[in-house]
């Protein structure tokens, strides 16, 4: 795998300009997580791994921490974990418990049984060697809910990425972990009750997992005019600037594109275009049980 692609996370530990698509994804995910927390009274959260989403690592659970939940984040890269710790300490200024594990230890997380109200991951299963082991661990350490989300392999941007833009990624990653039927089956086998399935992140553009100007160049339709449209000071999209109070109107500006996410349509219809699918499972005999 090309080294520059492996280590793109390093850039985002200090450069928070992620692009419109990622900022949109974060705000939609924040709303979903906060609604989940309020419906299920989630006061302790484990996100493992803390990576999976592109852009700035380790900030997916920030909205939950801001809402008062105790957040624990797990990573298998000590350098990245240190960078995430700095972000939380210096820029987010909220406490988070950051835990390092060996890359081979996702099937043996260092937490007691039923330690967290919510154990979850976002788009990370195909980045680790023992994804099945991780799912078993998320089920073991949760006392209420397990949330698993992965890229949606039905939408056009996924296939554009797979066939044209980023073919090497699919040579190195097991895309069978985008099969939500496989994931729901494993969670059921672990004794969890599947209580909800759906889609998230349904903006009006395809999901190419790269900046727009870079995608256009790879498609052979780049030009100086197009490049200037998607680069420069007028094309800065920075969730951290919103979190740090520097761009208080950012959420409103971005979520004007959320009409598909908010449309009262069955999730199966939205799945044709949604960037991510998720499954929510409940621990039996918890206070979440009916």
Residue 81 near residue 100 (C-beta atoms within 8 A): yes
**Closest among 72, 49, 55, 71 to 14, alpha carbons compared:** 55
Measured in degrees and rounded to the nearest 5, phi and psi for residue 87 equal: -60, -45
Rounded to a whole number, what is the distance in angstroms from the first to the last CA of the chain?
Answer: 47
Domain parsing of the chain, residue ranges: 3-160+168-209+237-282
Residue with the larger pLDDT of the pair 287 and 46: 46
Read off the pLDDT band of 226 (50, 70, 90).
very low
Tokens matching residue 28: 């939609």
Whether the ω angle into residue 252 lies within 30 degrees of 0, i.e. cis, is no
DSSP for 205-264? S---SS-HHHHHHHTT---HHHHHHTSSTTS---HHHHHTTS-TTHHHHHGGGTHHHHS-
pLDDT of residue 157: 81
**CB atoms < 10 A from the CB of 253, how many?**
13
Label residue 206 by pLDDT band (50, 70, 90): confident
Percent of the chain residues topping a pLDDT of 90 = 74
The dihedral region occupied by 102, where left means phi > 0, alpha psi between -120 and 50, and beta the remainder, is: beta
Q: How far, CA to CA in Å, does 182 sit from each of 110, 128, 135, 136?
A: 26, 16, 11, 13
- SS3 state at 71: strand
DSSP 8-class letter at 179: -
pLDDT at 107: 97
The token pair at 179 is 């099969």
For 12, the token pair is 């985002």
pTM (2 decimals)? 0.90
Fold of 3-160+168-209+237-282: Rossmann fold (3.40.50)
């Amino acid at each position: 795998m090309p080294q520059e692609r492996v280590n793109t996370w390093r850039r985002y530990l200090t450069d928070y300009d992620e692009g419109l698509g990622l900022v949109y994804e974060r705000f939609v995910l924040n709303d979903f997580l906060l609604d989940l927390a309020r419906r299920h009274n989630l006061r302790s959260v484990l996100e493992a791994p803390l990576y999976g989403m592109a852009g700035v690592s380790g900030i997916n659970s920030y909205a939950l921490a801001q809402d008062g939940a105790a957040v624990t984040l797990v990573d298998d890269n000590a350098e990245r974990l240190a960078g995430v710790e700095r972000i939380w300490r210096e820029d987010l200024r909220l406490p988070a418990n950051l835990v390092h594990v060996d890359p081979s230890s996702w099937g043996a997380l260092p937490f007691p049984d039923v330690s967290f109200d919510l154990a979850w991951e976002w788009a990370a299963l195909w980045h680790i060697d023992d994804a099945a082991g991780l799912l078993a661990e998320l089920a073991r350490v949760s006392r209420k809910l397990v949330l698993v989300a992965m890229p949606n392999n039905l939408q056009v941007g996924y296939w554009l990425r797979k066939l044209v833009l980023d073919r090497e990624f699919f040579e190195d990653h097991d895309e069978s972990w985008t099969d939500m039927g496989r994931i729901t089956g494993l969670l059921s086998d672990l004794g969890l009750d599947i209580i909800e399935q759906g889609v998230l992140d349904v903006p009006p553009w395809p999901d190419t997992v790269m900046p727009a100007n870079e995608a256009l160049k790879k498609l052979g339709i780049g030009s100086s005019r197009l490049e200037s449209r998607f680069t420069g000071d007028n094309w800065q999209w920075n969730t951290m600037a919103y979190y740090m109070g520097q761009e208080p109107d950012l959420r409103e500006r971005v979520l004007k594109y959320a009409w598909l996410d908010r449309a009262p349509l069955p999730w199966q219809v939205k799945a044709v275009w949604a960037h991510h699918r998720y499954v929510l499972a409940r621990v039996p005999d918890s206070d979440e049980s009916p």
